[in-house]
């Protein structure tokens, strides 16, 4: 559990007197890849996506982060942002400047341990993602994404987040066209159903496509 989960603005101000609250609208870019890293962002409300793009504008989503969590750990080395952050819904953040982050690392062991665990988790996640991109085909990555994202709802397994085919492609590192073809075939086979961008897993997905 994140050190900041359950903290309100007053508690965060106690930890970081130099911090400030900022609000962003849905689809606003909070930070951009390559920006100067000068602060840690604690999400008070809302949800964001972490993504990178290439020169042609192709987007790959690395992760999504929700209220109670934080991003901007690379503030520790002062280097440029390694990814961009976009608000998936209206968001409010408590922004902790670099000087306060450095002080908290030396005076708040719980925060230091949480930050280390988060960095370790990111290394493991990125290693797994690189392995998937290098060794698994698009169908295998899509099937894994659907299985891991599905939750039980009214006795059915549903990917509750409303995602476009382009959103899914960005999450798994594929093309929208390939995702469309696979979902169309899975729907025709009765494996999934799609209604208003909500995907329901009707039965166990086949091992191959």
Per domain, the residue ranges of the chain are 9-134, 137-201
Query: Counting beta carbons within 10 angstroms of the beta carbon of residue 204, is it exposed (0 to 12), middle (13 to 18) or buried (19 or more)?
Result: exposed
38 phi, psi to nearest 5 deg:
-130, 5
Predicted confidence at residue 127, as pLDDT, reads 85
- The C-alpha angle with vertex 185 and arms to 182 and 188, in degrees rounded to 5, equals 150
Q: Which fold has domain 137-201?
A: Arc Repressor Mutant, subunit A (1.10.10)
pLDDT in tens, 155-187: 899 998 889 999 999 888 888 999 999 999 999
172: closest CA among 32, 58, 31, 55?
58
Q: Which residues of 4-15 are buried (b: 16+ CB within 10 A; e: fewer)?
A: beebeeeebeeb
CATH for the stretch 9-134: 2.60.120.10
Across 104-137, b (16+ Cβ under 10 Å) vs e yields beeeeeebeebbeebeeeeeeeeeebeebeeeee
Per-residue pLDDT of 17-63, as tens digits, reads: 999 999 999 999 999 999 888 899 999 999 999 999 887 778 888 88
The Cα 164–Cα 84 span in angstroms is 20
- The yes-or-no verdict on residue 147 having pLDDT over 90 is yes
Q: From the centroid of its chain, how far is CA 34? A: 18
The DSSP symbol for 76 reads: G
Distance CA 142, CA 28 (A): 27
Residue the block writes with tokens 């999934």: 192
Structure tokens at 150: 């599905």
pTM to 2 decimal places: 0.71
């Amino acid at each position: 559990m994140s050190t900041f989960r359950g903290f309100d603005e007053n508690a965060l101000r106690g930890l970081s007197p130099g911090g400030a609250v900022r609000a962003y609208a849905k689809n606003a870019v909070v930070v951009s890849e390559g920006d100067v890293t000068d602060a840690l962002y604690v999400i008070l409300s809302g949800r964001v996506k972490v993504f990178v793009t290439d020169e042609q504008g192709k987007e790959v989503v690395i992760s999504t982060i929700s209220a109670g969590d934080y991003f901007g750990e690379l503030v520790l080395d002062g280097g440029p942002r390694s990814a961009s952050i976009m608000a998936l819904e209206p968001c409010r953040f408590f922004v902790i400047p670099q000087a306060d982050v450095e002080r908290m690392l030396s005076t708040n062991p719980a925060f230091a341990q949480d930050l280390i665990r988060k960095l370790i988790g990111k290394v493991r996640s990125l290693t797994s993602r690189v392995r998937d991109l290098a060794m698994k085909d698009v169908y295998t990555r899509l099937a894994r994404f659907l299985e891991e994202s599905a939750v039980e709802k009214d006795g059915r397994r549903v990917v509750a987040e409303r995602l476009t085919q382009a959103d899914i492609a960005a999450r798994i590192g594929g093309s929208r066209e390939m995702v469309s073809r696979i979902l169309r075939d899975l729907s025709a086979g009765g494996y999934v159903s799609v209604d208003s961008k909500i995907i329901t897993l009707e039965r166990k997905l086949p091992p191959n496509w």
